[in-house]
Structure 1
């Protein structure tokens, strides 16, 4: 890893799995961001003028480039994050899926909408709502998915007609530059720029954008929102999570166990929507725990090919994971697997299953962002729901039951933005569904069908006449006769006549 970025300094980015140099980066001068955004604003006007159909063709060419360069992108991903090849292989396909969806739907989603008149006497007017892009969307992305988190919103903003100002994490800056190079190599206009750095770079992006999409911790998200408020810049924030899974007594236990292991250990647990705590009905608790341990013991930890999950991003993240495990064990929990950092190089922590846990332990209440799976026995569905909701977070959740209707009823009692039934994380693939958090997990959503594009737009209402008849008839017309006619019309059409007394 690197030290705190210094302006214009060239720094080495190290692979957290091996310590090898993954590449170098030059940190941006925050004072130069205003000049960069001036260029983006100029290019954005022409980009908007192409229309949705014209922009779709450019984005399609970029999608082809992403597919053709997938191996190069994933190799760099592994080098700068220490991911396993399995985890690295998820990011480009997600972008291709998102791009494909918007290419097919963006023209319809962004077309002007005709609105009906609210009252009959206003039918002489035509009302249309146009979706006009915000000129510059600042995208501040985290390090856990350097490709997907940077462009899952970036593609939507570009489709909407915006220019994008990308700020990757200072921990994973390399893939961002490769993605920008691909945008230009595919023949796209210069409506994508990158700012490299840490806190000062974030502030510069917020100060020079017309809309901010931030993904990261709840604490940092609050600071981004506070700074954006100085210029009344709208924001969308996807923040931390402590996602619960509930396993009912009638669940397919093997399926639930497989899902819990994958949902908690995928990407070494460094996923906002990972399974961070499980509540299991006592009737199937022992069976579920045994199935989980069986699956976890088969996992292979290491970077690159042949492994199930890789390193954590750095030793500070290992320290958080170790603190949560140690705290739980000290308070009476048992680690059935893992529980101790291995010797040797790299920021690794083994997959750790914790039982006999409760809400006095950090592993059940604080975001771990590491390969742990705490499992708690509960006596009833009501207890499971109460504990699942006992959190400042509300990103997503999962419910497992053979009775899907029953599981849906439980889902509607959970305080979060999305719930997966008999699955985990799958809502992330459903681009027609909104993805966003409640409580401290965020404000606003990404995706959600047409709204995933319109969020980056301003609405402009155009009211035009259907006929010239009667034009200007109400201008300063305050004669007694005109006022009487106006009052009669308002009473008739606005439905403000007094109600008759009930007999």
Structure 2
């Protein structure tokens, strides 16, 4: 991506920007950058429109979201052509994004009315049964979404769909590297009959800060370092955040695993989208008994991969030369410390931001490829002697997004899975937790805060909880007001203590 300015100022994100394809250098399109000073006015317009959107209720909003899903399906080819032009993806990588969003939208259209319905809660003590307790889920007016560049459709809409379903307005700040796809998604929302509750803010850091300052909730996806800065900025106004951050996702291959399946999964999980996936396989721990067999199978599979943008290729370009440089640095560091590259290990030949698929062995935790997020097409594989060693090394990371365990014994695999410190674990598969729309997706440690999407949590995260307590009878609480004589207080405290201890006494026996 290159940014040019009509005004020729020092800030490259003013005026009009030119977006180029990292695979070919061809111009993908132009974008008008948002003036950070205008973001407050955009947010104010969203705040006004949101009131009517909330008033439609879940059923009314579901109809609009369903029409939008139909539009996305009908325009899938157009969206994928733009994805390839803007990111240099292969066709197979570009083809994954719209279907994921259709799955998420379909799930919420079916379940949002129930998930957002007011909930009745029982009284904690018998004498409070005269009260009717109802919990309401009220949408936050404006949700700011700061989305990354690796999946311009999926990472923007998996958050936006949930916020819109909850009744919020959405202020979307796509990555300055991939702003064009967001323009197309907004066009689709309007063509599908969506009201003015979805708007864009195009730019870099200054625009992101303005979005944070003018939103009621922030969903950020990106690096852990930037996520900390987002949270710090949001804290100035006590704005709640949900952060889906970096990962260094481990895979553990036990000695009883289907080795060919594990190898296929490792290669796909590491190389999909050129490794530019938060839940990609970034390191593998293989039990000694099957290590050699696994490495041979991985090398065999990698040798079949065709690298290039568009049709007929396994994966495409990295987003830019900066990302290539990170991969080069990690590989060079590993090789300098004794690792061996069985495939790749070099930048792709010719022009474009390509890097060859690289399998690294003889690796350990002194190497950056095992400890820092690479976000490139590398697959470091480490030999381990025991399951305990594999678990210890997998958990030896500041990250905790997701993981994978391979074993033919599913009970054993699950026992290993629940020892891993991360938000999700796939057994005999990789990345599939992203397709499980009924379950929340999120990370532990520096991989994030809160659930990204999935289940009722993916909607309720965008809501404020309002508890309404109403009388069930005409008998009010007035008899207790200011009834603070010593005898009355003693009687009330004795009664409350006895009632409150009924259940603990039963459980303690």
SS at match of 2:135: strand
CA deviation after TM superposition for structure 1 residue 486, in Å: 2.4
1:352 pairs, out of 358, 363, 367, with 358
2:288 pairs, out of 282, 288, 294, with 282
SS at match of 1:257: helix
SS at match of 2:117: coil
SS at match of 1:169: coil
The 2-side partners of 1:470 and 1:305 are apart by: 72
2:7 match: none
The 1-side partners of 2:311 and 2:198 are apart by: 32
Query: What pairs up with 1:141-290 in 2 under 5 angstroms?
Result: 141-290=147-296
Is contact 2:46-2:197 (8 Å) kept?
A: yes
The 2-side partners of 1:33 and 1:299 are apart by: 44
The 1-side partners of 2:347 and 2:180 are apart by: 28
The 2-side partners of 1:59 and 1:154 are apart by: 11
SS at match of 1:463: strand
2:290 matches 1:292: no
The 1-side partners of 2:423 and 2:167 are apart by: 27
2:62 pairs, out of 50, 56, 62, with 56
The 2-side partners of 1:102 and 1:144 are apart by: 24
1:249–1:44 CA distance, 2 compared to 1 (3 A): same
1:133 pairs, out of 133, 136, 139, with 139
CA deviation after TM superposition for structure 1 residue 441, in Å: 0.7
The 2-side partners of 1:498 and 1:220 are apart by: 46
Is contact 1:48-1:162 (8 Å) kept?
A: yes
Deviations along 1:454-478, whole A, 9 cap, x unmatched? Answer: 0000000000011112442112233
1:119 pairs, out of 121, 125, 130, with 125
2:379 match: 373
1:48–1:324 CA distance, 2 compared to 1 (3 A): same
CA deviation after TM superposition for structure 1 residue 332, in Å: 1.2
CA deviation after TM superposition for structure 1 residue 498, in Å: 13
Is contact 1:58-1:188 (8 Å) kept?
A: yes
1:119–1:318 CA distance, 2 compared to 1 (3 A): same
The 2-side partners of 1:497 and 1:359 are apart by: 50
1:393 pairs, out of 378, 395, 399, with 399
Deviations along 1:212-246, whole A, 9 cap, x unmatched? Answer: 00000000000000000000000000100100000
2:430 match: 424
Deviations along 1:86-118, whole A, 9 cap, x unmatched? Answer: 000000000000000000000000000000011
The 2-side partners of 1:217 and 1:134 are apart by: 25
Give ranges in structure 1 of 5+ residues lacking alignment: none
2:448 matches 1:442: yes
Deviations along 1:427-470, whole A, 9 cap, x unmatched? Answer: 01101122111111111112241111000000000000111124
The 2-side partners of 1:135 and 1:402 are apart by: 48
Aligned residues: 500
CA deviation after TM superposition for structure 1 residue 480, in Å: 5.4
The 2-side partners of 1:345 and 1:488 are apart by: 81
SS at match of 1:464: strand
CA deviation after TM superposition for structure 1 residue 483, in Å: 3.6
2:39 matches 1:33: yes
Is contact 1:85-1:307 (8 Å) kept?
A: yes
1:2 match: 2
CA deviation after TM superposition for structure 1 residue 292, in Å: 0.4
The 2-side partners of 1:80 and 1:496 are apart by: 64
CA deviation after TM superposition for structure 1 residue 360, in Å: 1.1
CA deviation after TM superposition for structure 1 residue 329, in Å: 1.1
Is contact 1:491-1:497 (8 Å) kept?
A: no
The 1-side partners of 2:390 and 2:490 are apart by: 64
The 1-side partners of 2:374 and 2:485 are apart by: 72
Give TM-score scaled by structure 1 length: 0.97
1:20 match: 26
2:414 match: 408
Deviations along 1:367-389, whole A, 9 cap, x unmatched? Answer: 10000001111111111111111
The 1-side partners of 2:489 and 2:450 are apart by: 45
1:70 match: 76
2:323 matches 1:313: no
SS at match of 1:283: helix
2:458 match: 452
SS at match of 1:434: coil
Deviations along 1:249-292, whole A, 9 cap, x unmatched? Answer: 00000000000000000000000000000010111011100100
SS at match of 2:473: coil
1:461–1:497 CA distance, 2 compared to 1 (3 A): closer
Give the aligned CA root-mean-square deviation in angstroms.
1.6
The 2-side partners of 1:490 and 1:375 are apart by: 61
CA deviation after TM superposition for structure 1 residue 330, in Å: 1.3
SS at match of 1:231: coil
The 1-side partners of 2:203 and 2:138 are apart by: 30
Is contact 1:6-1:27 (8 Å) kept?
A: no
Give ranges in structure 2 of 5+ residues lacking alignment: 5-10
CA deviation after TM superposition for structure 1 residue 479, in Å: 4.3
The 2-side partners of 1:84 and 1:449 are apart by: 31
Is contact 1:143-1:168 (8 Å) kept?
A: yes
2:378 matches 1:364: no
